[in-house]
Amino acid sequence: MGDSSLNPDKSTACPCGNGTYATCCKPYHTSKTFPDTAEKLMRSRYSAYALGKVDYLYNTTHPSERHADLKDAIAQWAQDATFLQLSIKRTEAGTKNDKTGIVEFVATYSEAALMQQRQEVSLFKKVKKRWYYVGAA
| Residues present in the chain in total | 137
* Residue 17 domain flag: no
H/E run at residue 90: strand 81-93
Amino acid at residue number 28? Y
User: Residue 71: inside a domain, yes or no?
Assistant: yes
Task: Tell me, yes or no, whether 4 lies in a domain.
Answer: no
Q: Is residue 35 part of a domain?
A: yes
3-state class of 35 per DSSP? coil
pLDDT at 137 (0 to 100): 87
pLDDT per position as a tens digit, 26-51: 999 999 999 999 999 999 999 999 99
**Is 5 a member of any domain?**
no
Angle at which helices 70-80 and 38-51 cross, to 10°: 70
Q: State the total domains in the chain.
A: 1
Residue 5: the pLDDT is: 43
In a domain, 3, yes or no: no
CA atoms of 95 and 21, how far apart (whole Å): 22
Burial class (CB in 10 A: 0-12, 13-18, 19+), 33: exposed
3-state DSSP percent of the chain in helix, strand and coil, to 5: 30, 35, 35
Name the stretches of the chain with pLDDT < 70. 1-10
Q: What is the per-residue pLDDT for 8?
A: 66
What is the domain range of residue 106? 26-136
pTM of the predicted structure, to 2 decimals: 0.91
In a domain, 65, yes or no: yes
20 is a domain residue = no
Q: Which CATH number does the domain housing residue 46 bear?
A: 3.10.450.50
What is the rounded distance in angstroms from the CA atom of residue 59 to the CA atom of residue 54? 9
